[in-house]
Amino acid sequence: MTTASTSRWALPVLLVAAFVTTLDFFVANVALPAIRADLGAGESATQLVIAGYGLAYAAGVIVAGRLGDIHGPRRIFVIGLTLFTLASAACGLAPDPVFLVSARVLQGCAAALMAPQVLTLLTAIYSGPERARAFGWYGTAVGLAGVGGQAIGGAVVALDLAGLGWRACFLINVPVGLLALAFVHRLVPDAGRTAGPGGRSAGRLDVLSAALLAAALVAVVFPLAHGRQAGWPAWAWASLAASVPLVTAFVARQRRLEEPLLDLGVFRQRRFVTGLAAVALLFGGSSGLSFVLALYLQDGRGLGPLASGAVFTAVNAGFLAASFGARRAAGERLGGRLPFAGSLALAAGLLWTFMAVGGAPGALVPGLLLAGAGMGLVMSPLLSMVLASVRQAHAGAAAGVLGTVQEVGGVLGVTVVGPVVFGVLDAADWTGAARAGLAVLVIAALAASVLVWRLARTGDAVRDGERPRAPEERPLDGGAPVAAQAGGAACRTGGRTESGAQLVDAAR
């Protein structure tokens, strides 16, 4: 469907979208102190600058995949890229905190529209070794955006491009988005619509299911972000309580529909549920660490954005070293125990950072380096283990759920750690507040270690023949291992990568 030239130049366009949508979750962390000072944002608005983006992304990614099936992935990708560019401009021009948070929510919705389409288009455009290389570059782009967000944001704020300060973190997306829009129709071929069972149309989006899912997520995260500052009023508890019937209604509707938004059968597999809990803890810890460090180093220690980002590059260095070198070498010796070793290294690095708080900022570097290496060792193998734990018929639903859990975990990391930090800050100094936040992260990392150990142990039991797989549990593509791509929204099966939506349709 493509010429060699077209397929070669389609990749940069799609990778730019994947990079900026991931980067924008992290890049704003380092700009938070400047945003608070310039717009007079309170602590709840500060948290929602991060959480609003992640929540909208998480609530929309499953729905967006379905829209791509119905209307075609390139069309939805273009709509998402257009909205993302406009929302980035709105963020950069925001006159007050409410406007900024609203624009961030719109930006998150736009990112959700793009994310699954990138994976679907990569699958349609490339095949064989070219597809494997394309998804390798995709994983690199998303990984670098995640671990480099702090440093990139710090550099942008410190350089004060055109006197824009923190606004440049968002406005820089505008020329990038316009350039991508100028070439997308010329370089990215249209993959067409996904056919349903028997070659029928892919069907329609169940709007009520999408609304129930989004409402349930908002009902949980919004009171967590606002409740403490407001003194935990009745509405906060009512919102949390309302999430229960919303989830119940969503589940009941999925069971009734012939083509549900989410295949619930995936949750009947215990290893998958255990893995999801570990993923949520680890991604929540990653976003929580970025949040705590950005505020502690700038508001607590008086560092500028560039210096703050430079300290955080220790996490980036550890992550990249473990991802590209140490993980391969250690994997030969540790095998399936590698994710467990990585989770322990992450917990040890966070504990080291906890003990170094209060000293010179440079004293944080060894702990952050170790924490970053732990993340690099555990993330990719853990995602592979989680997707490999599901039956073939549930592979598509598992990929979509995993991507959503990653985003929700990142949101909850901020909304849970934020109240702890600000709560202690009311009665103590920044040293005590940062240590309180890091203590929560250490506990989360240790809990994740237990879950990863259980996941690895049950995986070893299956390989040793203690519980043979049912016929529908055969690994995809005749036994090739299932590996998760960064972002959790695709699974690669022996060189053949399928988007979550395509795998759902194939399973049906």
How does pLDDT run across 93-139, given as a tens digit for each residue?
Answer: 999 999 999 999 999 999 989 887 887 788 778 877 777 677 667 76
pLDDT of residue 322: 79
pLDDT at 140: 65
Q: What torsion, rounded to 10 degrees, do the Cα atoms 469, 471, 475, 477 define?
A: 160
pLDDT at residue 466, as a whole number:
42
Q: For CA atoms 47, 50, 55, 58, give the dihedral sign.
A: negative
How far is 493 from 501, CA to CA, in rounded Å? 15
pLDDT at 496 over 60: no
b or e along 283-299 (b: 16 or more beta carbons within 10 Å of the residue's beta carbon)?
bbbbbbbbbbbbbbbbb
Q: What is the pLDDT of residue 352?
A: 95
Residue linked to tokens 């509707």: 253
Integer CA distances (angstroms), 403 to 315, 317, 334, 423, in order: 23, 25, 27, 31
Between residues 432 and 406, the one the model is more confident about: 432
pLDDT band at 192 (very low <50, low <70, confident <90, very high): low
107/276 Cα distance (integer angstroms): 26
Determine the residue type at 276: L
pLDDT of residue 479: 35
271-302 pLDDT per residue, tens: 888 989 998 998 888 888 888 888 888 888 88
Question: What is the mean predicted confidence (pLDDT) over 445-469?
Answer: 69
pTM for the whole thing?
A: 0.69
Which of 11, 8, 16 minimizes the C-alpha distance to 178?
A: 16
Q: 493 by DSSP, 3-state: which?
A: strand
Q: Band of the pLDDT at 324, cuts 50, 70, 90? A: low
- 202: pLDDT confidence band, cut at 50, 70 and 90? low
Q: Is 40 helix (H, G, I), strand (E, B) or coil?
A: coil
d(CA 65, CA 163): 39
Q: How much is the mean pLDDT over the chain?
A: 77
The DSSP call for residue 162 is G
Residue type at 447 in one-letter notation: A
- Largest alpha-carbon pair distance within the chain? 66
41 has a pLDDT exceeding 90: no
Cβ 80 vs Cβ 151: under 8 Å: no
The count of other CB atoms within 10 Å of the CB of residue 505 is 19
Distance CA 222, CA 44 (A): 9
Residue 48 has a CB neighbour count (10 Å cut-off) of 28
| pLDDT tens digit sequence for 462-494 | 444 444 344 344 333 333 333 333 333 333 333
User: What's the rounded mean pLDDT across residues 311-315?
Assistant: 82
Which region holds residue 44: left if phi is over 0, alpha if psi is between -120 and 50, else beta? alpha
Average pLDDT (211-222) is 83
Checking if the pLDDT of 448 tops 80, the result is yes
Distance CA 157, CA 434 (A): 23
The answer on pLDDT for 366 being more than 80 is: yes
In sequence order, the β-bridge partners of residue 490 are 499
Q: Which residues pair with 492 in a beta bridge?
A: 483, 497
Shortest CA distance to 138 belongs to which of 156, 170, 110, 114? Answer: 114
Quote the pLDDT of residue 325.
60
Which helix (H) or strand (E) segment is 497 a member of? strand 496-499
